[in-house]
């Protein structure tokens, strides 16, 4: 598989990597000017989602937290599938790798193995439909996923339960809920809380794997390279000293979101006022959020403490200050990683694919 082909599969990995850099303290504002972030940290305007994606299900659940999902009567075909699934419980293969019955009544078996880990016909067909890709692209993507899972196991990457709990608690808090209320909302909408935890664990493991790959493969220590970048992009290192904003505050994110989407309408429960902010007085992460938010757009919603939520409308950025090379070193290192990560990840997975024992059975 050549680098151009593997790049398609890396889009999925990059989305996971980016999606997991949750912006609970809002390190970065969405370029689209979105006013609210979903439970996975992505802005509302961050792009299209597969409707079957767990993130999309969660987002829909939060829009109607009081409505419980009613279970429709099962059809005869669904009952047959359920009985077939029960009969497979004694198998040793993981649930996702079990042979599954297709809609046409033909049982789909194992099509490919990657170092003895199976990929079924059913999984290939599902990937084709959900990702709208060709059969070969679906197979390639699933092969990369298997290799990735094997690397996570080989490197003994394991996310402990307390880290998952902390992540869920942050997500819940960002949506103005307690952890219990958040999990109850998911359950009411038919999202199994244990499945949600499992998927979140996988995403966090993937993030850690990608971090390890980049950490040990990116050369950011070259003083010459870093200085070349600094000199070629001086405009990036000239920053405002103050930001003129309109501060919007409310007791819950739903009310605040309504106010952000209707700036010219007075929304009960929302207070607002003009505020000039000195960036030097801020925590570096919060300062970076103001710097990266464009003028005439809103910052992401922040938890201001005391049961309050806040967002700032950026009216104008004032003054200019030069950032020295020594102050910019970490920023430049991250930029160099960002520029090289596509190539590094492609090469890394290509090497693993070449070494892997891949068998095409049908």
**Six-digit token pair at 148?**
């990735």
Q: Tell me the pTM.
A: 0.50
Distance CA 168, CA 162 (A): 10
The class (CATH top level) of 234-322 is alpha beta
**Six-digit token pair at 312?**
């700032």
Structural domain spans, the chain = 234-322
Nearest Cα neighbor of 243 from 185, 297, 170 is 297
Amino acid 78: pLDDT = 59
Q: How far is CA 300 from the centre of its chain?
A: 16
Nearest Cα neighbor of 174 from 12, 355, 360, 309 is 309
Per-residue CA distances from 18 to 58, 207, 266 (Å): 18, 8, 35
The tens digit of pLDDT for each residue in 188-202 reads 888 998 999 999 999
Distance CA 56, CA 43 (A): 12
Distance CA 119, CA 150 (A): 14
Q: Could you list the pLDDT tens digit for every one of the 362 residues in the chain?
A: 444 444 445 454 444 444 444 333 333 333 333 322 333 433 333 333 343 456 666 666 665 544 433 444 555 565 655 665 555 444 444 434 433 444 433 345 899 999 999 999 999 999 999 999 999 999 999 999 999 999 999 999 999 999 999 999 888 877 777 888 888 888 888 899 899 999 999 989 988 888 888 777 766 567 888 888 899 988 888 889 899 999 999 998 889 999 999 988 999 999 999 999 998 888 877 888 898 899 999 999 988 888 889 999 999 999 888 888 888 888 888 788 777 778 888 888 899 999 999 999 87
């Amino acid at each position: 598989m050549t680098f151009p082909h593997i790049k398609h599969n890396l889009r999925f990995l990059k989305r996971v990597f980016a999606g997991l850099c949750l912006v609970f303290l809002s390190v970065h504002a969405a370029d689209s000017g979105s006013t609210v972030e979903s439970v996975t940290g992505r802005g509302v305007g961050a792009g299209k989602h597969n409707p079957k994606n767990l993130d999309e299900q969660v987002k829909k659940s939060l829009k109607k937290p009081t409505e419980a999902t009613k279970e429709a009567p099962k059809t005869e075909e669904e009952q047959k599938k359920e009985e077939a699934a029960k009969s497979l419980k004694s198998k040793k293969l993981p649930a996702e790798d079990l042979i599954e019955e297709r809609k046409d009544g033909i049982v789909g078996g194992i099509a490919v193995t990657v170092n003895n880990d199976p990929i079924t016909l059913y999984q290939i067909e599902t990937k084709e439909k959900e990702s709208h890709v060709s059969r070969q692209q679906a197979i390639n993507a699933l092969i990369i996923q298997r290799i990735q899972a094997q690397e996570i196991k080989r490197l003994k990457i394991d996310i402990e339960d307390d880290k998952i709990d902390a992540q869920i608690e942050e997500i819940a808090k960002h949506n103005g809920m307690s952890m219990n209320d958040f999990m109850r909302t998911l359950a009411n909408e038919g999202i199994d809380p244990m499945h949600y935890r499992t998927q979140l664990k996988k995403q966090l493991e993937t993030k850690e794997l990608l971090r390890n790959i980049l950490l040990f493969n990116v050369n950011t220590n070259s003083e010459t390279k870093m200085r070349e970048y600094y000199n070629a992009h001086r405009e990036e290192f000239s920053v405002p000293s103050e930001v003129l904003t309109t501060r919007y505050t409310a007791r819950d994110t739903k009310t605040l979101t309504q106010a952000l989407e209707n700036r010219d309408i007075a929304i009960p429960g929302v207070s607002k006022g003009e505020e000039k902010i000195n960036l030097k007085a801020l925590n570096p992460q919060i300062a970076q959020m103001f710097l990266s938010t464009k003028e005439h757009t809103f910052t992401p919603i922040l938890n201001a403490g005391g049961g309050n939520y806040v967002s700032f409308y950026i009216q104008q950025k004032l003054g200019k200050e030069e950032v020295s090379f020594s102050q910019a070193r970490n920023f430049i290192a991250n930029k160099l990683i960002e520029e090289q990560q596509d190539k590094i990840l492609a090469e890394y997975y290509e090497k693993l694919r070449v070494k892997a024992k891949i068998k095409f059975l049908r």
